[in-house]
Amino acid sequence: MNTGKREIPYPVRLNLSRTPTPLESLSRLSGKFGIDMHVKRDDLTGADLTGNKIRKLEFLLADALANGCDTVITCGAAQSNHARATAIAAVRLGLGVRLLLRTRDPENPPPLEGNILLDRLVGAEIVWLTFEEYGRRAEMLAAAADSLRNSGKIPYVIPEGGSNAMGAWGYVRAVEELAFELATLPGAQEHPTTIIHATGSGGTTAGLILGVKLLGLNARVVGINVCNDRDYFLGVVGDICQTAIDTYQLDLSFSRERDIEIVDGYVGSGYGKAGPKELSLILEVARSEGILLDPVYTGKAFYGMSQELQRNPEVFGDRIVFVHTGGLFGLFPMADQIAPLL
C-alpha cells in the first residue's frame, strides 16, 4: 500500500471546520520522556466548534442536508462537547436542534456553564433525561424523531458522539492530514508512529483505524478509554469499523483483536470525574507546553499515556502523535477542583 496511490471514497462533506489542524512538537515533554512527542491540534478546529466532533459533523450534517432534513436530534452527557458542536453547527446551517442530555435530576438541571451555556446561547432545545432514560437512548432518540415528524418536521438523528460509520470519515480525513504532516518530519511517513487519543464513544478511534489502513500509514492507533472498558470498546469500535467497511465497500482487512488497541485503567473515579492526579497532569502540560487539556477526555488520556511511558519508555516506540480532541469548555465547570492546585 502506498500513501496517496488510492482513491479514498469519501461521502459528501460540508466545510465547517478549520482544517487541516497543525501538528506541533511538544519539546519540553519530548525531552522529559526521551521520545519524539507531537500533538495534532484538533482543539483548533474552531473556537466555538473546538474539538473532534466537528470533523464527524461535516459528514453527518452533509448527509442530513442531502436527505432534506430540517431539524437535528442528538444526545450526550450534560456537558457534552458533541452536543455543543452539533448545536452551533446546526444553527449555522439554518437547522433546528434538539439535544437529549442526561442529568441526575431533570427537575433540577445543571447550572448554565461550560457547554450548556453555549447550547442555550444558540437556542438549542434541551430535553433533560434521567440516567435510566439515557440508558435507552436509541429509543428516546427515535421517540423524539417521531414527535418532530408529527409536528411536520423532518428530523435527522445523530447518535451519541456522532459515532457511526458516517461520522468516522471525519477521522479518516484527519489521518490524511497527518500523513502529509508526518512526511515533513525526519524519517517521514516510513518512520513508525503511535497515534494516541481519548476514546469516549468510539467514533474517533474507528476513524483513525480506518484512516491508517486506507492511507497505508506506518502507524499504530492507541485509544485510552475515559468510560466503560476495553471489551465494551472492542465491540463498539469493531462495529463502527465493520459497518463502514460493509457500507462503503472498503477493500481492507480488519480484525477487532488485531487492530483495536485500547489501553484500559485510566477512567479514574468515573466518566466526567477528574481527581488530583489527572488535574495535576493538566497543570503540568499547561505550564510546560502552554497546551490546555480538558478534564473529561484529553487530560485522562494524556495522564494514561504518561503513566504507561513512565512504566516503560519504549511502550509506544520513539514517535508519538497525541490527538488533542478538544474539550476546553469542560475546564470551566471544574474551577473549584482546580483551585487548590494553583
Ligand X SMILES: *Cc1c(COP(=O)(O)O)cnc(C)c1O
Which residues participate in catalysis according to the annotation?
A: 80
- Tell me the three cell numbers of residue 231: 471489551
For 143-218, list the strands marked E by DSSP: 155-157, 193-199
Give Cα separations from 320 to 46, 227, 251 (angstroms): 24, 23, 27
Give Cα separations from 332 to 73, 312, 321 (angstroms): 26, 33, 26
Burial profile 136-154: b = 16 or more Cβ within 10 angstroms, e = fewer = ebeebbeebbeebeeeebe
* Residue 298 beta carbon to ligand X: minimum distance, rounded to whole angstroms: 6
Nearest CA to 301 out of 319, 329, 321, 318 is that of 321
Give the count of alpha carbons within 13 A of 285, CB side only: 26
* Residue 160 beta carbon to ligand X: minimum distance, rounded to whole angstroms: 8
Alpha helices in 203-254, H assignment, sequence order: 203-215, 230-247
Residue 322 phi/psi, 5-degree rounding, is -90, 125
Nearest CA to 198 out of 145, 132, 271, 142 is that of 271
Closer to ligand X by Cβ: residue 148 or 279? 279
* Residue 111 beta carbon to ligand X: minimum distance, rounded to whole angstroms: 20
Helices (H) and strands (E) in the chain, counts: 13, 10
* Residue 84 beta carbon to ligand X: minimum distance, rounded to whole angstroms: 9
What is the spatial distance between Cα 295 and Cα 41, in angstroms, rounded to a whole number? 17
* Residue 106 beta carbon to ligand X: minimum distance, rounded to whole angstroms: 23
Binding site for ligand X (CB under 6 A): 51-52, 81-82, 161, 163, 198-205, 294, 297-298, 325-327
* Residue 194 beta carbon to ligand X: minimum distance, rounded to whole angstroms: 17
CA dihedral 205, 211, 212, 216 (to 10 degrees): 170
Closer to ligand X by Cβ: residue 53 or 189? 53
Closer to ligand X by Cβ: residue 32 or 230? 230
Burial of 310 (0-12, 13-18, 19+ CB in 10 A): exposed
- Tell me the three cell numbers of residue 62: 452533509
The one-letter code for the residue type at 77 is A
Q: What residues pair up with 98 in beta bridges, in sequence order?
A: 73, 125
Closer to ligand X by Cβ: residue 140 or 323? 323
* Residue 27 beta carbon to ligand X: minimum distance, rounded to whole angstroms: 23
- Tell me the three cell numbers of residue 11: 461521502
Closer to ligand X by Cβ: residue 238 or 327? 327
Closer to ligand X by Cβ: residue 99 or 148? 99
Residue pair 100/144 in contact by the 8 Å Cβ criterion: yes
Closer to ligand X by Cβ: residue 218 or 242? 242
